[in-house]
């Protein structure tokens, strides 16, 4: 049985390890309980997502409904929607709004 809160499609994460450490990305796929697929719409496009160990990301308590609905309905999402979701999150966090529920995927 899975403990903790699992990652969800459309969830925004902060990459904590590797070459892209310190950058934000969106979960566009879940491989298994250890790995997720991440994309940001600019350097990392939806068609070529990064497979990342969940221990190397910080899960944020923000899910982009546009990204989630698009992937669940069509199996895809545009890179523009990914960029928009990340831009919206970054601008909201700079306004001083608190970021709730930071944690890990499992």
Mean pLDDT by 10 residues, the chain (106 residues): 66 95 96 95 95 95 94 96 93 63 52
What structural domains and CATH numbers belong to the chain? 11-94 (2.30.30.30)
What is the pLDDT, as a whole number, of residue 99? 47
| pLDDT of res. 95 | 67
Instruction: Report whether 62 contacts 92 (CB < 8 A).
Output: no
Q: What pLDDT is stored for residue 85 in this prediction?
A: 94
The pLDDT assigned to 20 comes to 93
Predicted local distance difference test score (pLDDT) of residue 105: 58
- Tell me which residue of 70, 23, 17, 22 sits closest to 46, measured CA to CA: 70
Q: What is the pTM of this model?
A: 0.83
pLDDT for res 91: 83
Count of positions (residues) in the chain: 106
């Amino acid at each position: 049985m899975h403990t903790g809160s699992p990652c969800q499609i459309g969830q925004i994460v902060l990459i904590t390890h590797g070459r892209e450490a310190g950058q934000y990305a969106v979960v566009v796929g879940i491989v298994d309980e250890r790995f997720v697929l991440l994309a940001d719409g600019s350097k990392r496009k939806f068609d070529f997502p990064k497979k990342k160990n969940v221990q190397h990301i910080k899960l944020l308590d923000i899910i982009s409904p546009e990204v989630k609905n698009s992937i669940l309905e069509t199996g895809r999402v545009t890179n523009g929607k990914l960029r928009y979701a990340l831009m919206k999150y970054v601008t909201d966090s700079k306004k001083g709004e608190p970021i709730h529920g930071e944690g890990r995927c499992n």
